[in-house]
Chains A and B, each alone.
Chain A
Amino acid sequence: MKKMMNQLGESMKTARRWQNASKAAIAVSALSFLASCAKDAPQDTWQPAGPNAERIDNLQRPVFYVAGIVGVIVFAAVAWVIFRYRDRGQAIPEQTHGKPALEIVLTVIPVLILLGVAIPTAGTIFKLAKTSDTEMTINVTGQQWWWEYDYPAAGSNAEQYGITAPIVTSGQLVIPENTKVLLRVTSRDVIHSYWIPKLNGKKDSVPGRVHLLRMEGSKPGIYAGQCTEFCGLSHAYMRMEAVVLSRADYDKWVANQLEPYKAPEAGTEAAAGEALFIQQCSRCHQVNGLANPDGSLIISAPDQYLVSGAAPNLTNLMTRNTFAGASWDLLTPECRDNVWNASSAYFGERYLDGVSADCLNQKDLREWLRNAPAKKPMYADPTKLTTTGGKYRGMPALGLTEDQINTIIAYLLERK
């Protein structure tokens, strides 16, 4: 009787352990599943917004489903074997070696599955590598820790899109909708990787090499991305956005970018900001058309101060929505939402409004101007530049006063 009671107690304990383990497994599975249900996920690879990303999506979905089914079968089989044949003190079963028929079947099935994956994969790779149908070409240059975009004034860029002089911008790649854009991706310092998940896959940017990446957006909007190759201290802050505009809006954007420099009115706070900009910022940042009082153009010399040899061109800063490697918005959250959530019909108009004084994200921009390395980690400590010959990686703290920051902001607000 006592023995029976003991056995019953052991069985109940075992049952409770299985129950607890099952609950834990269900909870982990549920959490994992819920974690995939992000509401605001601008870098979701499952929501393609262009033909190139759709090609990838058309390939990855069936592969994901097949791999998922195979995975479930394998895990279930392993779990069943572990449970069914667990050690209960039984004798070791008869050992056999080799079952040719089973082995052939278990080899042929994966081969067939892999062939089924390989054929469309090869087709997709070739389609994504096609460049002969290019309608627009843009140079994309990575450096620690921001992306520069320049639009060459050549070929169809000039003939069809009115880019009669090179345009340089950063943070946001602006392209016309339904246009086959080819990015020529390279780097000034270390290896980075360019990725706008909703528009295409990744492409490494490697110093000394030019890699090609197709880019096309099907409808106006902003599509977020992130550097996907660890590239140093602020890799996590090396973000990017692709802005897709309707053709009419894109033409307006190009025309605006090509407009000559307009100096601030004399005696204004912006004019004081211009003088301060020349003194403090123009060593690294180029503003096209900015001139000395004698009329000579001011040419920045970032190659003398920065390891990468380049700093963002700020000619039309306030036509962009972001700054500091697209890590922060130039727009306040309300104004940002107004642009990001605009319907296709109104998106271009709102984006082209740029950044107004009312919509300027003063908080982050001021923090940046006060002490940039404190906001975004950079190798910008002047006492620790011996290994780089005195050159910075990123923007140093300039020691600006609040009044100086006011004047700089007043000047920058006119850069659009």
Chain B
Amino acid sequence: MITTSSKLFYGLGAVSVTAAIVWTIANDGGALGAVALVFIGIASIFLGAIASYVRDGHVLSTDTAQHDSAPAAQRGPGRSWFPLGTALSLGMVVVGLVTSPGIFKVGIALLLAMLGEWLIQNWSDRASADAGYNERVRGWVVHPLEIPIGGALLLGAIVLSFSRIFLALSAEAGPIVFAILGALVLFFGSVLSIRRGVSRGVVGALCGIVLVALSGVGIATALSGERQELTVASAEDHYAVHPCGEEAEEYDGSAGRAVSAKSSVAATVTLKDGVLYAEMDGFSGPLSSITLQRSLNADILFQNEDAGMHRMIVTYGKTVEDLGGGVKKETVLQTCTAMIGQGGAQQIVVRIPKPSFASDVPYTITASGIEGASIEVMVP
């Protein structure tokens, strides 16, 4: 009996055999293609024979009791994306092998995940004759992993995209762009929330579009690179403490942005009209001497109200290293802020391990380029 599906396989078999003959004639007896086509033909005819034998799995029209209970009458398992995912991740592994270890590692991880998912899917599809129950069984096993990992990956993609966009935008444009985006999100969110009958599909589609757009812009901005000042700052090791005498383009040029805390500091030091003075909570008025605790990370905020670029320098003694042969090397202990323009501020952390009476020379805070301006630092 030639059934519907067996016709397809018989036809495919016949075409394959014909093609094998044509291939042989056309290629002067070339064997490889002919063998392949003959095997395809044989396999197709074999599958056609099986389909004929089982009558396409159909139930006899007279056997009405089988119409509902026969396996062929049950809803088959749904489409699975995992074979495709496995193939793609395998491709990624191969590409990673010849290009980048990172891609290779991601490919391996994806491959393992896809194989695992495929395995569990396959197992759950055979758990019972009830497809709905099988789907629930699969969920019990994989959802505790799928949902948190998927959520974390989604969140990571969003954060990464945002960060790339921020790094590419200028410092001035960033807040404006994201204020507008935030307002748009709020607006559309409000509109959706007050409209009745908005389907989950519409909301899901909107979120998907936004996510794709965000990821796309994130990838585009990541490829275009960080803004210039960040590239320079990175080359200068950002705002790491630099030697007090050296000047660096970004570190000294844009130091005002480095202030992270302006309250609860140990002292605020201000340079104004060529005079350096300190203010400390608990003391009224400007101070010409301050006391800092020993071995304490004390935050000192420097404000430049003077014209020109200045840096604050804290000098707290010196170390003497015996190099042997009567040669000694003295190193002055100093820490300093970057060069600050008028109106700028920067905070540094000062940790002084020795009391001031251990030094012959008083510990001081001075400002570069200002002669005579000094604050005494006492360390008990």
Contact = CB atoms under 8 A, between A and B. Distances in A.
A complexed with B = yes
Contacts, number: 95
Contacts of A186: 266, 293, 296
Contacts of A303: 295, 353
Interface stretch (B54-62, B140-148, B279-287): B279-287
Contacts of A243: none
Interface string B53-85: 000000000000000000000000000000000
Contacts of B357: 288, 297
A137 B295 contact: no
Interface string A263-301: 000000000000000000000001010000000010101
B291 interface: yes
A166 B281 contact: no
A36 B283 CA distance: 41
Nearest to A133: B284
Given A208-B297, A308-B295, A310-B294, A167 B380 contact: yes
Interface in A114-165: 131-132, 134, 137, 139, 141, 148, 150, 152-156, 165
A208 B261 CA distance: 10
A384 B353 CA distance: 25
Contact of B282 (A182, A297, A310): A182
Interface stretch (A102-110, A209-217, A230-238): A209-217
Residue of B289, B290, B291, B355 ringed by the most chain A CB atoms within 10 A: B291
B259 to A, nearest CB: 14
Nearest to B299: A208
Contacts of B358: 297, 299
A175 to B, nearest CB: 13
A204 B224 CA distance: 47
A387 B261 CA distance: 30
Contacts of B291: 139, 150, 152-154, 166
A244 B380 CA distance: 23
A209 B283 CA distance: 17
A148 to B, nearest CB: 7
A150 B281 contact: no
B282 A184 contact: yes
A293 B348 CA distance: 39
B105 interface: no
A286 B354 CA distance: 10
A207 interface: yes
Contacts of A155: 282-285, 287
Contacts of B280: 137, 154, 184
A176 interface: no
Given A155-B283, A210-B281, A150 B380 contact: yes
Interface string B333-374: 000000000000000010101110110000000000000000
B12 interface: no
A309 interface: yes
A188 B261 CA distance: 18
Interface in B242-273: 261, 264-266
Contacts of B284: 132, 134, 155-156
A82 to B, nearest CB: 41
Interface in A152-198: 152-156, 165-168, 182, 184, 186, 188
A137 B283 contact: yes
Contacts of A131: 281-282
Given A188-B296, A308-B295, A154 B289 contact: yes
A351 to B, nearest CB: 22
Contact of A166 (B287, B296, B378): B378
A363 to B, nearest CB: 32
Given A166-B380, A299-B354, A188 B295 contact: yes
B353 A212 contact: no
Contacts of A302: 295
A148 B358 CA distance: 20
Contact of A212 (B266, B282, B295, B355): B282
B131 to A, nearest CB: 43
A394 B294 CA distance: 17
Given A134-B284, A165-B378, 8 more contacts: A152-B291, A153-B289, A184-B280, A208-B261, A211-B264, A288-B357, A299-B355, A309-B351
11 contacts: A132-B284, A139-B293, A141-B293, A154-B378, A209-B264, A286-B355, A288-B357, A301-B353, A302-B295, A310-B293, A310-B296
